[in-house]
Amino acid sequence: MTTVIIGSGNVAWHMAKAFKQAGIELVQVFGRNEKELHKLSQEVGVAYSTQELTRADFYLICTSDKAIHEVSKLINYENVLVAHTSGSLSREALEGSYRKASFYPLQTFSKARALDYSRLPFFVDAGWEADNILLMNLAKKISNNVAQINHHQRKQMHLSAVFACNFVNHLYARAQQICQHNDIPFDFLLPLIEETADKIKTLSPMEAQTGPAVRNDQNVIEFQESLISNSELLKVYKTLTESIIKMYEL
C-alpha cells in the first residue's frame, strides 16, 4: 500500500522509520518544515515535498492536533484512505471526500530516542470495516500489539497515558529540581525509578504503592511539607498525598 506521511515532528519521524523498517511502501514525506523534512527524507531514503502531495493509497497525518483539520483539506484525492495519529480527535476532524480513519500509536515519541516498534501498541478506527482490516494488517507489519478501538476508548486511553507518562515524567522533573537545589546527583534515583516501572509488570499499581501517604503517616507527611518552600510543588505534594490516602481508605 503506497503511503505518504504528513508532518516532520516526533511522530512523523518514528512512523516513517517504522513504516520503512516494516517494508511498507513509503512514497513521500510531506509538510511545511523544509529543514526537518530534508533530514527525515535522508534518514529514511524517501522523497519529500512542501508543495505537492504525491498520489498514494494511504495518507498518515502526523501534525499537531490543532493543524489536523486544515492539513486534511490539502488532500484532494478521492477514494484514498486518510488517517491521523491524534489520541483525542475523532475521524471527523478530517475534511475531504476520502475514507477517514484514526491510526493511533501509543508511545512517547522523541526523535532523539530509538524505539523497538515490534511492541508498539497501535489502535485503529476506520469508518468502513474493510479499512479497519486494512489498517490492522498494516499495523501488524510493524508491531505484534495491534487493536481496534472506538473513539470513546481512544480518548480514555489517551487520558490514561497522560497520567501514566506525561504526569510521571513531570514528577521526575520535579524530583530533579529538588536534587539540583540540594546538590545531589539525580542519577542516584535511577534504580528506584527503574524498579518502580518494572514492578508493575508483576504487581498491580495499587499493590505496588509504598511511601508515607499509603501508610497515612501524618508525622512524615507534615515534616516533608515543611521542607517544601515552592508553593507549586507544595500543591502537587498535597494533591497527590490526598489522592493516595483516599484510594486506600476502606
Ligand X SMILES: NC(=O)c1ccc[n+]([C@@H]2O[C@H](COP(=O)([O-])OP(=O)(O)OC[C@H]3O[C@@H](n4cnc5c(N)ncnc54)[C@H](OP(=O)(O)O)[C@@H]3O)[C@@H](O)[C@H]2O)c1
Residues 6 or more apart from 234 whose CB is under 8 A from it? 225, 228
Say what the alpha-carbon torsion angle 153, 157, 163, 167 is, to the nearest 10 degrees. -130
Task: Determine, following the binding rule CB under 6 A, whether residue 11 of this chain makes contact with ligand X.
Answer: yes
Residue 61 or 213: the one with the smaller Cβ distance to ligand X is 61
Rounded CA separation 96/93 (Å):
10
Task: Determine, following the binding rule CB under 6 A, whether residue 102 of this chain makes contact with ligand X.
Answer: no
- Of 114-143, which residues contact ligand X (CB under 6 A)? none
Binding window for ligand X (CB under 6 A); candidates: 26-34, 43-51, 127-135, 145-153: 26-34
Cα 115 from chain centroid (whole Å) = 12
Rounded CA separation 41/50 (Å):
12
Which one among 3, 4, 5, 7 touches ligand X, defined by CB under 6 A?
7
Binding window for ligand X (CB under 6 A); candidates: 59-67, 91-99, 142-150, 196-204: 59-67
Task: Determine, following the binding rule CB under 6 A, whether residue 54 of this chain makes contact with ligand X.
Answer: no
Please report, for residues 59, 126, 215, 234, the alpha-carbon distance to residue 221 in angstroms, rounded to integers and kept in the order given. Answer: 52, 49, 10, 11
Which one among 87, 134, 237, 241 touches ligand X, defined by CB under 6 A?
87
Q: Rounded to the nearest 5 degrees, what angle is found at the Cα of 38, between the Cα atoms of 34 and 39?
A: 125
Binding window for ligand X (CB under 6 A); candidates: 57-65, 173-181, 204-212, 214-222: 57-65
Residue 87 or 131: the one with the smaller Cβ distance to ligand X is 87
Say what the alpha-carbon torsion angle 232, 237, 239, 243 is, to the nearest 10 degrees. 160
Closest separation in Å from C-beta 93 to ligand X: 10
Residues that bind ligand X (CB under 6 A): 7-12, 31-33, 36, 62-65, 67, 70-71, 85-87, 105, 108-109
